[in-house]
Amino acid sequence: MVDVVMADHCPNTSSCALFPLISKPGFLRVWQINYCEGDYARCERFKRSCGGSDVPATLLPNGEDLTANLPKK
Ligand code: SF4
């Protein structure tokens, strides 16, 4: 049996296009708290990158699109 040690933070933080956007104070930071610094194995971006799939820049960790979640003007 192999023990898998999970990092405290997502190992993709330096390469993820979304990470810098959700690092800023504001309503998007909740994504970083819940996924990048939390359970990143649930992140759709992380799962896709591990699987070798394309990761759209606007894909949110829950699999929805960022542009559909922006506040309406
Ligand atoms: S958004 Fe997902 S893939 Fe990107 S750094 Fe956060 S947990 Fe990792």
Pocket test for ligand 1, best of 36, 48, 69 (most atoms within 8 A of CB): 36
10 lines ligand 1 (CB under 6 A): yes
Q: Which two tokens stand for residue 53?
A: 């799939």
Domain total of the chain: 1
Q: Which domain holds residue 19?
A: 10-65
Considering the domain boundaries, does residue 5 fall inside one? no
Residue-wise pLDDT for 31-50, tens only, equals 999 999 999 999 999 999 99
Long-range residue pairs from 50-56, CB within 8 A, at least 24 positions apart, any chain: 55/16, 55/17
Considering the domain boundaries, does residue 25 fall inside one? yes
Entry pTM:
0.80
60 lines ligand 1 (CB under 6 A): no
Nearest CA, atom 3, ligand 1: 46
How far apart, in whole angstroms, are the C-alpha atoms of residue 7 and residue 24?
Answer: 22
Closest CA to 31 of 1, 72, 70: 70
Mean pLDDT of the chain: 88
